[in-house]
Copies of this chain bind each other. A is one copy, B any other.
Amino acid sequence: MATGHTDPQRRERILAATLDLIAEEGIARVSHRRIAQRAGVPLGSMTYHFSGIEQLLREAFGRFTDHIVAVFDEHLGAAADRDQAREAVADLVHELSEDSQRDLVLTQELYTLAARRPAYRELTHEWMRRSRVHLEKHFDPDTARQLDALIEGLTLHRALAREPHGRALTLEAIARVTATERRAPQGSGTP
């Protein structure tokens, strides 16, 4: 085509197609050619817009974490008190584990990369940080940390289980971890 001018939509379409491809077929099947075909752009565009597959992947996963963090913000930002926060967390767990296979798969792919490569770990750090900011508006830091881990586990197990657990169980787990009546039987100190 050669329009003669910058076309920012091309770039976006490539990034979106990259995430779609990873979600559907996995990192192992990602290639310039497949992405290009899916995005409807010529092969040459790939190396024109991105210096290599590495940069492309990092940028694509950057978009993805932006999206996920937005979902967190959307759910948890609205919570006004502790009980609403608990409900919001339950909603979050169920949305992430039920709605879209896409987000689940991409999350796993990102964790897999993060487990090995520090560059991707930065993305998960930022993600964890942001979610904890929300949780710490309603719970003390230690509890927030535990709850954050619980969210992760509940989401994953619900998504992978043969018979996913119901909302009642999710809420009960959340309630237990966030129950603040601390009679200190073992003496673990926190505010």
Mark A residues whose CB is within 8 Å of B.
24, 26-28, 30, 101, 104-105, 108-109, 111-116, 121, 124-125, 128, 142, 145-146, 148-154, 156-162, 165, 168-169, 171-173, 175-177, 179-180, 185-186, 188, 190
**Pairwise interchain contact A172-B142, C-beta atoms closer than 8 A:** yes
**Pairwise interchain contact A169-B146, C-beta atoms closer than 8 A:** yes
Q: How far is the CA of A117 from the CA of B104 in the complex (A)?
A: 13
Question: Could you say which residues of chain B place their CB within 8 Å of the CB of A165?
Answer: 145
CB distance from A163 to the nearest CB of B (A): 10
Copies of this chain, complex-wide, total 2
Question: Could you say which residues of chain B place their CB within 8 Å of the CB of A190?
Answer: 172
**Pairwise interchain contact B171-A186, C-beta atoms closer than 8 A:** yes
Query: 22 A-B residue contacts at CB 8 Å?
Result: A27-B112, A101-B116, A105-B115, A105-B116, A108-B115, A109-B112, A125-B161, A125-B162, A142-B169, A145-B157, A146-B154, A146-B172, A148-B153, A149-B156, A150-B150, A150-B153, A152-B157, A153-B154, A168-B188, A171-B188, A175-B185, A176-B179
Q: How far is the CA of A125 from the CA of B159 in the complex (A)?
A: 11
User: Residue on B with the closest CB to A178?
Assistant: B176
CB distance from A112 to the nearest CB of B (A): 4
**Pairwise interchain contact A111-B160, C-beta atoms closer than 8 A:** yes
Question: Of B26, B128, B160, which contacts A27 at CB under 8 A?
Answer: B26
Question: Could you say which residues of chain B place their CB within 8 Å of the CB of A145?
Answer: 157, 165, 169
